[in-house]
Structure 1
Amino acid sequence: MSERAVELLGLPEDRACLLLDVGCGSGLSGDYISEEGHYWIGMDISPAMLDVAVEREVEGDLLLADVGHGIPFRPGMFDGCISISAVQWLCNADKKSHSPPKRLYRFFSTLYTALARGSRAVLQLYPENSEQLELITAQAMRAGFTGGMVVDYPNSAKAKKFFLCLFVGTSGTLPKALGTECANEELHQAKFTNERTRFRNVKGKSVKKSRDWILEKKERRRRQGKEVRADTKYTGRKRRPHF
């Protein structure tokens, strides 16, 4: 889902971008953003999940925050925003003081300000019902966004995914949803996966978790000024299981 969300952002290929990851959790989406050569800042309300991200030594910067209080960054700072399975939680009133419409509007209005003009936000979510979906999209449009919902594999109970694709300052054309032209969604999904694998191989990227992949990740961290262990002949070597 992270890969699909970044794809829907339509980022330029000639430069690295700074992205915001809303509800970043343990940083799994951030790992993919880093692999694509971009930089990111992650926000999450859970200290435990951010602790896991720190232990995993993710490459992005992390912020403990409730996005229902707003996005606390300067105007135009980000080239895009993704969010995986987080925004629907703003529809819940966990406290008496919580008003879902107000929290959603606060989130979307400050997100709109933090994004550069012409950029996009792609928010994957699991709406409980049509009313919740309408509430989310209405507050996004009220905050100034244009765009709409991209539903991948709409006829599949398991593969169906909702992506709210939002545009900042321009009225763009919504990306094409996956699985809308093929009667057999599983075949369509397999074809998409295989094509993506070939595309990634053509781009010459190292296989994940391989020695080259690990060395590239360590080198990126060094360029960011972070402390990294020295490379040795054991770097990237698979360890034997202990019994």
Structure 2
Amino acid sequence: MISIQQQLSERAIELLALPEDTPCFILDVGCGSGLSGEALTDQGHVWIGVDISSSMLDVALEREVEGDVILGDMGEGMAFRPGTFDGVISISALQWLCNADKTYHNPPKRLYKFFSTLYSSMRRGARAVMQLYPENSDQLELITRQSMKAGFTGGLVVDFPNSTKAKKMFLCLFTGGAPQQLPCGLGTPGANPQQTQAAFTSKRERMQRIRGKPPKKSREWILEKKERRRRQGK
């Protein structure tokens, strides 16, 4: 599961099409234990994560993720200043807004509240990429309709559409600015056959050198982590 989460996170970041070698400020919606945030950190970006589960955020803090994490319900909106973020990712979280977990929950209203406040919090020309597992076509249509109603453009990117096991869906949304073309899904006509998750390796190492941080799991990285834990009394 960890490996799949990392692959989905890296693919979502790839679809964001962020400028190379430039750290960006990213929002991770439904950040959970911080696995997707680690992918952002590895590529040199600064991030804030929002999740409804306090227990998952506790795990993120125990794992000493480098992003800030906030307890919040995405269906109640994103309470950030206008134009704050250069991009947004979300892994396996968006479909939960289609459920009415409480009697007063109204899925269409909660989706619109989320998308409208998210749109406001992003700078113009930025992208939001959200990997999701819709239960059916009706859920997918509801999500897409509410996102467009909130002002987004874009659409669905499907990787490996003809594979039952490898098929993945990403809602790729744009906030205006210069016209943007919807990316091709992997395994579809027009997709780059050389495009794989391994393409991130050189970029990660380059960004780490720029930031002056030792590569993850290296001797220097381990010593720094030990020293940080000593200071925390652990």
Whose relative contact order is higher, 1 or 2, with alpha carbons under 8 Å and at least 6 apart? 2
Name the TM-score class by shorter chain: 0.7 to 0.9
Flag as ranges the 4+ runs of structure 1 deviating above 3 A: 191-195, 197-208, 212-215
The letter for the 2-side match of 1:22 is V
Residue 188 of structure 2 aligns to a residue whose secondary structure is coil
Question: What are the ranges of 5 or more consecutive residues in structure 2 without an aligned counterpart?
Answer: 1-7, 209-213
Candidates 99, 107, 111, aligned match of 1:104: 111
The letter for the 2-side match of 1:83 is S
Equivalent residues in 2 for 1:52-71 (5 A)? 52-71=59-78
Change (3 A) 1:169 1:62: same
Q: Give the drift of 1:181.
A: 3.7
Candidates 159, 182, 191, aligned match of 1:174: 182
Query: Number of aligned pairs?
Result: 215
Distance 2:222 2:20 in 1: 23
State percent identity of aligned pairs. 64
Q: TM-score, normalised by structure 1?
A: 0.81
Distance 2:143 2:172 in 1: 12
Summarize deviations over 1:167-217 as a string: whole Å, max 9, x none: 0023410111101149xxxxx6xx6447526745884867642325546x8
Change (3 A) 1:53 1:201: closer
Give the match for residue 239 of structure 1: none
Residue 209 of structure 1 aligns to a residue whose secondary structure is coil
Question: What are the ranges of 5 or more consecutive residues in structure 1 without an aligned counterpart?
Answer: 183-187, 219-226, 231-243
Summarize deviations over 1:40-81 as a string: whole Å, max 9, x none: 000000010000001001000010000100001000000000
Distance 1:50 1:28 in 2: 11
Q: What RMSD over aligned residues (CA atoms) do the two structures have, in Å? A: 2.4
Change (3 A) 1:201 1:72: closer
Summarize deviations over 1:127-180 as a string: whole Å, max 9, x none: 111110000000000000000000000001111000000000234101111011
Distance 2:66 2:215 in 1: 18
Report if aligned partners of 2:43, 2:204 keep a CA contact under 8 Å in 1. Answer: no
Equivalent residues in 2 for 1:151-230 (5 A)? 151-170=158-177, 171-181=179-189, 192-193=195-196, 196=199, 199-200=202-203, 203=206, 208-214=216-222, 228-229=228-229
Q: TM-score, normalised by structure 2?
A: 0.84
Change (3 A) 1:99 1:14: same
